Amino acid sequence: MNPKICIAVLFSVSLVACGGGSSSSSLPAPAPAPVDPDPVGEIIQVESSVNGGQSTELVLFAPDNILSSIKWQQTAGAEVEFYADNSKVIGFTPSEVGDYAFEVTFNANGSSQLLTHSFTVNDAPSELSVRLGHAVIEGNAVSLTGYATSDTGSTPTDKSSWTWSQTDGPSVSFTESDTDGDVAVFFDAPAVARDTILTFELSGVVDEQTYTDEISILVENSSIAVEPDNVPFSSRVAEVFLYNPDSPAGQTLIDCVYSNETRYDQCTFGDTPLIAQLTTTPTIDDIMDRVVVSHKWMGDQFRKYLETYDQFDDFKNLLRATTAIVISYDVRPAFYSPTIAAIYIDPSYLWETPAQRDTINQAPDYRSNFGEELQFEMPWRYVKDNDYAYYSYPIRYRLSRTLEDLHYALASLLYHELAHANDYFPSTNWLTYSTNTTVYDAVVEVYNANEIISDFLQDNYPLDPLYASGEQNELTKLAQVRFRNPDLVTDEQIAYTREDVANMFKTEGAPQFYSYSSTREDLAILFDGFMMHARYGVSRDVAVSDQAYSDIVWGQRDRMGEEWIKPRMSFVTNRILPEYSEADSVIQNLSPPLALNTDKTWRNSVVIEDTQRPEATAKSSPATWRDPRLIPQHGVHHHGVHDHGRVLPQGLNDD
């Protein structure tokens, strides 16, 4: 029987008894041939035809059945790269013209099933493609991105004619009401009573010819309601699984660290112990037992990174203060949750191929326009050998990168977020927690007692001298506007010039402006900047500029070398990573900071000539070796212990 017919429609079988050449009526009638049961579900491909260069998706659609043990495989055609092979939907971009075939095995209501599907990629190339079709739980965030195949030049393709439309399924509300001319659209999946397919179309002109492409999103119903109160996650989170399916952590870990069903007061250290409570000398295998992912490639990349770049054991040691590492396509930006004691990593720090990147939600950081009324910006960056330590990869080019390319960006993220973890759960407390104590209660206890390490930092080396009285100086107030609540802006703050802000900041005890956003961030920034310098020879620049980052009025490299900052850095490092016994010596021997050239733009000021510190100003190799399409990556303000749509208990988010 043709398997394509089985998939496309429910089939019927007619049985015809054929004579064997004998007319004897005494012969028994032949037994009827067995009838194959109707297949459960079907594979749906929304495109009636697939053109070269276009992405497509296959949807396992069986809305009236409970499915498990899903596994997709390619059985014919040029090899394609796809992920989420255990999901109801796989999306990919065929690389060659020709015939392709796939099969999916799964269990439906306890019965093993197999479906197959084939299609042909035409030789008529398309300049327009939308990525990436996938399955999503109702209420979870979705992003769709359009690409022009020929959009590889220095001047981007004109996309003003591009128009998005929904063609089937319950109506969604795009984040922007007018999406004409937009490369990407964002929305939350609608509520559904059963598996439901949404389809969308992007049409537009490329090189004076109109093209269209369709895409499918499968929305799955969830029996778990999204509650607004007393839960870590007040917006829908993605479906995730243990990276190591045999991990002794089991389903309990997922339920406690990334579920809309979990309450703050639910999980104890017996349910989700700190890694340090399991072992104080964890191996990579121990760490990976606590990793929860939405896509297996994310865990693969994280493991590979630890194997390649944790030569000092810093990350394994710092991870002891966590219960889990969650890496999911909807984590954006990265953050740390003290009431769960887990770190949440944005997988944009881990991808190496465009296909991996396609699986990540591309929604922009919601804080990007905070403080836009202010007359100044305070950019920062990591620098190595007089060049940016890492670069960003414009999504339109669909470039690949290596683990080395993402090394410094991920290292700085881990040092920062794990500083938060060890701030709330320092090594002196790891083995003191009862298995009956909830993580929430442990955090609230130290919070109410002002016994978090960052509290001690402010008591001994206050960043803001008004901290003890509960008041705020001008830099702290400005940081609240820029990073937390833009509605707090005042006319006085709007009137501050760049020179005003530079004069406020240059004699202060903070390595960068974000330190003033909270006492917790002050600690994490002191730690991550020092560790990047001490372990990798990476420097940090900070400046005061206009909003366009073009005109700087003041700036420094390695500001941590200021004599009044060193004691604060030593206080933090000794408590966050006591294994680093050489830290004090390294800190005391730090050179004074170098001044950035204010006659240059922020971008060009990355090159400093100073014969007194050749190691800090060494020329990098000629730029001919770097792909000119890459963009210098300015510093990203890590999200720390706060996150959009994920509400912490009253008080813990007011630090």
Which domains, and CATH codes, for the chain? 3-25+34-220 (2.60.40.10), 241-358 (no CATH), 380-632 (no CATH)
Q: What is the average per-residue pLDDT within 291-298?
A: 98
pLDDT band, very low/low/confident/very high, at 474 (cuts 50, 70, 90) = very high
Residue 323: predicted pLDDT: 98
Residue, of 105 and 27, whose pLDDT is higher: 105
pLDDT band, very low/low/confident/very high, at 227 (cuts 50, 70, 90) = confident
Q: What is the average per-residue pLDDT within 629-638?
A: 83
Tokens of 320: 């002891």
Residue 229: predicted pLDDT: 80
Q: Please choose, from the candidates 460, 461, 420, the residue with its C-alpha nearest in 3D space to the C-alpha of residue 565.
A: 461
Residues 275-289 have pLDDT tens digits of 999 999 999 999 999
Residue 25: predicted pLDDT: 45
Residue 369: predicted pLDDT: 65
What are the CA-CA distances from residue 575 to residues 1, 59, 430, 454, 558 (Å)? Answer: 69, 51, 13, 10, 22
Residues 366-411 have pLDDT tens digits of 555 677 899 999 999 999 999 999 999 999 999 999 999 999 999 9
Residues 169-224 have pLDDT tens digits of 999 999 988 899 999 999 999 999 999 999 999 999 999 999 999 999 999 999 99
Going through 1-125 in order, the beta strands assigned E by DSSP cover 42-44, 50-52, 56-61, 67-76, 89-92, 98-108, 111-125
Residue 335's Cα: distance from chain center in Å? 10
Q: Please choose, from the candidates 316, 343, 342, 304, the residue with its C-alpha nearest in 3D space to the C-alpha of residue 579.
A: 316
Q: 632 - beta bridge partners?
A: 391
Residue 311: predicted pLDDT: 96
Average pLDDT across the chain, whole number: 89
Strand order across the 594-595 sheet = 387-388, 380-384, 539-545, 552-557, 594-595
Q: Please choose, from the candidates 297, 284, 314, the residue with its C-alpha nearest in 3D space to the C-alpha of residue 350.
A: 297
Tokens of 562: 């200021």
Q: Please choose, from the candidates 146, 124, 144, the residue with its C-alpha nearest in 3D space to the C-alpha of residue 134.
A: 144
Asked which of 297-311, 322-336, 342-356, 610-624 is least confident by mean pLDDT, the reply is 610-624
pLDDT band, very low/low/confident/very high, at 650 (cuts 50, 70, 90) = very low
Residue 615: predicted pLDDT: 57
Residue 22: predicted pLDDT: 40
Asked which of 265-279, 455-469, 640-654 is least confident by mean pLDDT, the reply is 640-654
Q: What is the average per-residue pLDDT within 115-128?
A: 93
Residue 107: predicted pLDDT: 96
Residue 634: predicted pLDDT: 87
Q: What is the average per-residue pLDDT within 434-458?
A: 96
Amino acid identity, position 370? F
Within 593-654, where are the H helices?
Answer: 614-617
Percent of the chain clearing pLDDT 70 (strictly above):
88
Residues 43-80 have pLDDT tens digits of 999 988 899 889 999 999 999 999 999 999 999 999 99
Residues in Cβ contact with 81 at an 8 Å cutoff, skipping those fewer than 6 apart: 92, 93, 353, 355
Residue 42: predicted pLDDT: 97
Residue, of 589 and 38, whose pLDDT is higher: 589
Name the pTM for this structure. Answer: 0.90
Residues 573-593 have pLDDT tens digits of 999 999 999 999 999 999 999
Is there a contact between 167 and 384 (Cβ–Cβ < 8 Å)? no
